[in-house]
């Protein structure tokens, strides 16, 4: 497969249109498809559709394909394990791949003391496990989550999610005892403050408003937070905020649950984003990039916390041996090379995007860590009016030129490519992204502003 995009048919092509038409009649309409890509195969950071069009993939299956599409080492591990046995259920039996993965995770998660892990199938299941364990371990009923956060769509984790109203609309009364507090988005402070005050004031709001007027801290089991909000717009929490939040939880005996479903597994240039501020959480939820595309979710916790009895929580398919084999191979690749590559190429990509911001008035903010980079689009940099329609148009224009991107939040675009992305491929992405921005700016009458 070529290492550069090549579009040879109108999009979608004839074969893609047929499959999309079949999808409409048979598949749930609840899925959000940003553009009509129908994949045939992938290799590294490249994707070929059913009509032979080739794309540079900077979405990676929503930050899932951490080692790229069908990395040979991961495929080999999957094939070898599949030839032995596909399933035995770690709920009722033992098998070494699950034990070995638990040991590997215990050696890399930034949790003090011994570590135990619970295995599920997805990010939302990992969060659910963290929530249940927090309540069991503390005997407390309530939880704190953050506005803009996304923690999953099953009913328990949905109660924590506060990213988009459509994700909660129509599903009735949420899981009780969840209180939401502002997240420190210092570009767009929820409290209307300057960036210098935002982080401190957001924490003060939790301590002096939520804990005073709504729920006593001694009845809160856990605070659940993404160190970098994913679905919420790739918003990076300041290090000082996370450090002070950790101090607050310790002071009140509240558990700190670190949701690394999207930001974990080397994506930020470290194994977990929470390592940047040096915070040591009590529990970590991980999924997405952990098994290079196979379904797997893990909740890791301090061993003294994970003391619930047999039958308290389990999953028939969680920790599937084939998924565990893929995860073990993934971790090896991350530690050997790909985590460092994410830091290096991510810095290169960030620099290039900031250079584009100097030329394109649609870009209001560029932020992120490693290969988890968000670009927020605005109609006016002074007022920060959200460019929601323009964001969707830029994503569509990029697709038409062979670059796969996804939106995040109301008006941001996320760059979450496979961690095998090269500097040369990043330059291709920057070139196409710049062309897409220019096209949308011309249509919105912003091109002249770029020259002033």
Residue-wise pLDDT for 223-241, tens only, equals 999 999 999 999 999 999 9
Claim to verify: residue 162 and residue 48 sit in the same structural domain: no
When pLDDT is cut at 50, 70 and 90, the band that residue 444 belongs to is confident
Q: Are 371 and 346 in contact (CB under 8 A)?
A: yes
Q: What is the DSSP letter of 235?
A: E
- Residue 122's Cα: distance from chain center in Å? 12
**Which pLDDT belongs to residue 189?**
83
Could you tell me what percent of the chain has a pLDDT over 90?
90
Min mean pLDDT across 152-166, 258-272, 410-424 is at 152-166
Average pLDDT in the 118-145 region? Answer: 98
When pLDDT is cut at 50, 70 and 90, the band that residue 452 belongs to is very low
**Which pLDDT belongs to residue 195?**
62
Average pLDDT in the 65-91 region? Answer: 97
Residue 390 lies in a domain: yes
Claim to verify: residue 62 and residue 164 sit in the same structural domain: no
Average pLDDT in the 89-116 region? Answer: 96
Q: Are 8 and 52 in contact (CB under 8 A)?
A: yes
CATH number at residue 181: 3.40.640.10
Q: Is the pLDDT of residue 451 over 80?
A: no
**Sole residue written with tokens 């797997």:** 296
Q: Is the pLDDT of residue 448 over 60?
A: no
Residue 100 lies in a domain: yes
Residue 5 lies in a domain: no
When pLDDT is cut at 50, 70 and 90, the band that residue 193 belongs to is confident
Claim to verify: residue 33 and residue 96 sit in the same structural domain: no
Claim to verify: residue 269 and residue 254 sit in the same structural domain: yes
**Which pLDDT belongs to residue 204?**
92
Average pLDDT in the 50-75 region? Answer: 98
Q: Is the pLDDT of residue 449 over 60?
A: no
Distance CA 270, CA 72 (A): 23
Residue 435 lies in a domain: yes
Q: How far is CA 110 from CA 40, 57, 168, 275, 281, in A?
A: 38, 30, 32, 7, 7
Q: For the whole model, what pTM was predicted?
A: 0.95
Backbone angles phi, psi at 159, to 5 degrees: -65, -30
Q: Are 290 and 298 in contact (CB under 8 A)?
A: yes
Nearest to 287 by CA among 307, 260, 305: 260
Claim to verify: residue 250 and residue 268 sit in the same structural domain: yes
**Which pLDDT belongs to residue 45?**
98
Residue 2 lies in a domain: no
Last residue of a domain, one of 305, 334, 363: 334
Claim to verify: residue 141 and residue 24 sit in the same structural domain: no
Average pLDDT in the 78-84 region? Answer: 98
Backbone angles phi, psi at 45, to 5 degrees: -100, 15
Claim to verify: residue 126 and residue 25 sit in the same structural domain: no
Q: Are 229 and 186 in contact (CB under 8 A)?
A: no
Claim to verify: residue 51 and residue 143 sit in the same structural domain: no
- The rounded mean pLDDT for the chain is 95
Distance CA 182, CA 180 (A): 7
Last residue of a domain, one of 334, 369, 395: 334
Nearest to 421 by CA among 354, 338, 352: 338
**Which pLDDT belongs to residue 1?**
75
CATH number at residue 347: 3.90.1150.10
Residue 49 lies in a domain: yes
Residue 6 lies in a domain: no
Residue 9 lies in a domain: no
**Which pLDDT belongs to residue 447?**
62
Query: Which structure tokens are listed for 80?
Result: 């070898």
Q: How many domains does the chain have?
A: 2
Distance CA 109, CA 8 (A): 45
Last residue of a domain, one of 282, 308, 334: 334
Claim to verify: residue 267 and residue 377 sit in the same structural domain: no
The dihedral region occupied by 267, where left means phi > 0, alpha psi between -120 and 50, and beta the remainder, is alpha
Distance CA 248, CA 430 (A): 41
Distance CA 106, CA 300 (A): 8
Q: Is the pLDDT of residue 16 over 90?
A: yes
Query: Which structure tokens are listed for 372?
Result: 């988890």
Claim to verify: residue 196 and residue 231 sit in the same structural domain: yes
Query: What's the domain range around 382?
Result: 14-70+338-451
Claim to verify: residue 364 and residue 415 sit in the same structural domain: yes
Claim to verify: residue 119 and residue 264 sit in the same structural domain: yes
**Which pLDDT belongs to residue 5?**
98
Q: Is the pLDDT of residue 383 over 90?
A: yes
Peptide bond before residue 220 is cis, with ω within 30 degrees of 0: no
């Amino acid at each position: 497969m070529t290492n550069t995009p090549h579009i040879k048919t109108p999009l979608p092509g004839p074969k893609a249109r047929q499959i999309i038409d079949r999808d409409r009649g048979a598949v749930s309409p609840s899925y959000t498809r940003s553009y009509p890509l129908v994949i045939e195969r992938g290799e590294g950071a490249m994707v070929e559709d059913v009509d032979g069009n080739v794309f540079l993939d900077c979405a990676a299956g929503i930050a899932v394909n951490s080692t790229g599409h069908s990395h040979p080492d991961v495929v080999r591990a999957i094939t070898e394990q599949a030839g032995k046995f596909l399933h035995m259920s770690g709920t009722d039996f033992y098998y070494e791949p699950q034990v070995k993965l638990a040991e590997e995770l215990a050696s890399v998660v930034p949790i003090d003391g011994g570590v135990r892990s619970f295995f599920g199938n997805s990010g939302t299941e990992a969060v659910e496990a963290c929530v249940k364990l927090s309540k069991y371990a503390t005997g407390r009923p309530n939880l704190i989550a953050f506005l803009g956060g996304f923690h999953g769509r099953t009913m328990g984790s949905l109660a924590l999610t506060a990213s988009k109203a459509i994700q909660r609309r129509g599903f009735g009364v949420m899981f009780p005892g969840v209180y939401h507090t502002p997240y420190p988005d210092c570009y767009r402070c929820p409290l209307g403050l300057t960036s210098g005050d935002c982080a401190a004031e957001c924490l003060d709001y939790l301590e002096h408003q939520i804990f005073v007027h709504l729920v006593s801290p001694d009845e809160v089991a856990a605070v659940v937070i993404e160190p970098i909000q994913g679905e919420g717009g790739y918003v990076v929490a300041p290090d000082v905020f996370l450090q002070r939040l950790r101090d607050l939880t310790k002071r009140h005996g509240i558990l700190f649950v670190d949701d690394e479903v999207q930001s974990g597994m080397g994506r930020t240039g470290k194994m977990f984003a929470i390592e940047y501020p040096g915070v040591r959480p009590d529990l970590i939820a991980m999924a997405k990039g952990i098994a290079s595309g196979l379904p797997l979710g893990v909740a890791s916790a301090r061993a003294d916390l994970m003391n619930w009895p047999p039958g308290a929580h389990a999953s028939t398919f969680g920790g599937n041996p084939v998924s565990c084999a893929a995860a073990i191979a993934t971790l090896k690749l991350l530690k050997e090379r790909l985590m460092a590559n994410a830091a290096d190429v991510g810095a290169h990509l960030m620099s290039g995007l900031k250079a584009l911001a100097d030329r394109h008035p649609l870009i209001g903010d560029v932020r992120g860590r490693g290969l988890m980079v968000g670009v927020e689009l605005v109609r006016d940099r002074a007022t920060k009016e959200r460019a929601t329609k323009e964001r969707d148009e830029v994503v569509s224009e990029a697709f038409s030129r062979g670059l796969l991107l996804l939106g995040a939040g109301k008006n941001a675009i996320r760059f979450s490519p496979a961690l095998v992305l090269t500097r040369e491929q990043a330059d291709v992405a920057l070139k196409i992204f710049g062309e897409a921005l220019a096209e949308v700016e011309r249509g919105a009458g912003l091109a002249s502003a770029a020259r002033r």
